[in-house]
A and B are shown apart, each in its own frame.
Chain A
Amino acid sequence: MSGFAALVARDLRLVWRRPGDVAVVLAFFVVATTLFPLGIGPEANVLARIAAGVLWCAALFAALLSLDRLFAADFEDGTLDLLLLAPWPLELAALAKCCAHWIVTGMPLAALAPILGVAFGLDPSVLLALSVTLLVGTPTLSLIGGLAAALTLGARKSGALLALLALPLCVPTLIFGAGAVEALATGGDFGAHLAVLAALALVALATMPWAIAAALRQAGE
């Protein structure tokens, strides 16, 4: 377990020393969201209606955008080879990398989304719910994206390929994430949506580290 904490701490330290990488992702999130009112028009009721879906999609894209470097730097400088040789499970290392990714992308996105939600005219009671769904849903995105990142290590055109692999698998999270916010706004069952969202995160937690480790092993061969 100390190795897990050390690996998370190392990744966080790397991000801390180059905060620009995270800032770019968050800036993309803000800019991409801003484009929707410009493209669709400033009518307040339309914007409030689509806000949850737009913010969730933008968060999904932002999370994916930051993923193609998740293992690439370690792959290039040989850290990955050491992780493969290390006497503790690679699954744990994979989980640690995804965990660090979630802390530096998922959590800031969840914090930023309500501010953008205000600009979309979302009801204040919904803003907190939006943040909660993103907090519960983004770990799934980090794990699925982590698998796509591991599978595309060393591939040609890995950025676009990563999106093609990860996006269909992220559909359930998107549906229940945006659906939860909409359910709250329209008087539906918010708790049920949130429970499914959490279940998706747990399924990803139970399967993805093994798949990521398998992908990393075949990349290291």
Chain B
Amino acid sequence: MADLHFLANPARYRRFSQRVVPSLSIATALMLAVGLYLALIQSPPDYQQGDTVRIMFVHVPSAWIAMAGYGLLAALGASLLVWRHPLAALMARAAAPVGAGFCAVCLLTGSLWGRPMWGAYWVWDARLTSMLLLFFLYLGHIALNRAYDEPERGDRAAAILVLIGVINLPIIKFSVDWWNTLHQPASVARLGGPSIHPSILLPLLWMVATLFLLFVLLVLLRTDTEIDRRRLENAEPQA
């Protein structure tokens, strides 16, 4: 964390992002092309699920990124409240919709996957439900961030909210698991068991890395936009 402090200055961050973004964009595009080939063409269809298993290559990385994104928001919130880093607020403002977007992608692909596999677009499975609640936490963060006329108040309020949210997230996860065992047993095949074959695992890990790069790229780009927007808001109106 301490090594990242040099980025706290928006002007220095701007120089950093201008160097990183072009090469990162190219890398992401190349990796995405390779990843889509691996996931959609090269990897074998599942012996039970057929081609629908390919949804997983977007679904699982999105879920991981959505969770990591909330962790990033919490880290940014802490650094805003503790060190008052101006950039942390702008980056949180930029990252929240991206994280919420990945969360929505995870829910949508999960729903499309669930229709052929479980025969329903939505089941009240524990993991689906906790993902939905994570999405609501994202929405609350975004809404609170934008609810004030002075943007700095929204930044700090959202930072407090995300810190409480990150403490509560394990509690919510645990209680939803508990609630679900009351009603129905979990029916999702678990990742990480010995059942997953390397021919599917490798493209999956590749897509995880690719979509993580995409997340980082989008956050960096949007942070640049937020810096510009804040400068515009603070600029003296021209007579």
A contacts, CB < 8 Å to B: 147, 151-152, 154-158, 161, 164-165, 167-169, 171-172, 175-176, 179, 182, 188, 196, 200, 203, 207-208, 211, 214-215, 218-219, 221
Contact = CB atoms under 8 A, between A and B. Distances in A.
A215 B77 CA distance: 13
The prevalent SS among residues of B at the interface is helix
Contacts of B176: 171, 175
B171 A203 contact: yes
Contact of A152 (B147, B163, B165, B168): B147
Interface in B190-233: none
B48 to A, nearest CB: 33
Interface of B: 81, 133, 136-137, 139-140, 143-144, 147-149, 153-154, 156-157, 160-161, 163-165, 167-168, 171-172, 174-176, 178-179, 182
A161 B143 contact: yes
B137 A207 contact: no
A157 B172 contact: no
Given A155-B148, A214-B160, A215-B160, A164 B143 contact: yes
Nearest to B175: A172
Contact of A176 (B157, B167, B175): B175
A175 B175 contact: yes
Given A165-B144, A171-B175, A219-B153, 17 more contacts: A147-B160, A151-B144, A151-B160, A151-B161, A152-B144, A161-B147, A164-B143, A165-B140, A171-B172, A172-B171, A172-B172, A175-B178, A176-B175, A176-B178, A188-B182, A211-B164, A215-B157
A37 to B, nearest CB: 22
15 contacts: A147-B161, A152-B147, A154-B153, A155-B154, A156-B147, A165-B140, A168-B136, A169-B168, A172-B168, A172-B171, A175-B176, A211-B160, A214-B81, A215-B160, A218-B160
A169 B164 contact: yes
Contacts of A196: 175, 178
Contacts of B148: 154-156
A168 B148 CA distance: 21
Contacts of B167: 207
Given A172-B175, A175-B175, A207-B164, A164 B140 contact: yes
Contacts of B161: 147, 151, 165
A147 B164 contact: yes
A175 to B, nearest CB: 4
Contact of B157 (A151, A179, A182, A208): A151
A156 B171 CA distance: 30
A171 B133 contact: yes
A164 B136 contact: yes
A179 B180 CA distance: 11
A218 B171 contact: no
Given A175-B178, A175-B179, A167 B153 contact: no
Contact of B182 (A151, A182, A207, A211): A182
Contacts of B157: 151-152, 155, 215, 218-219
B140 A168 contact: yes
Interface centre among B137, B140, B154 (most CB of A within 10 A): B140
A164 B164 contact: no
A106 B148 CA distance: 30
Contacts of B163: 211
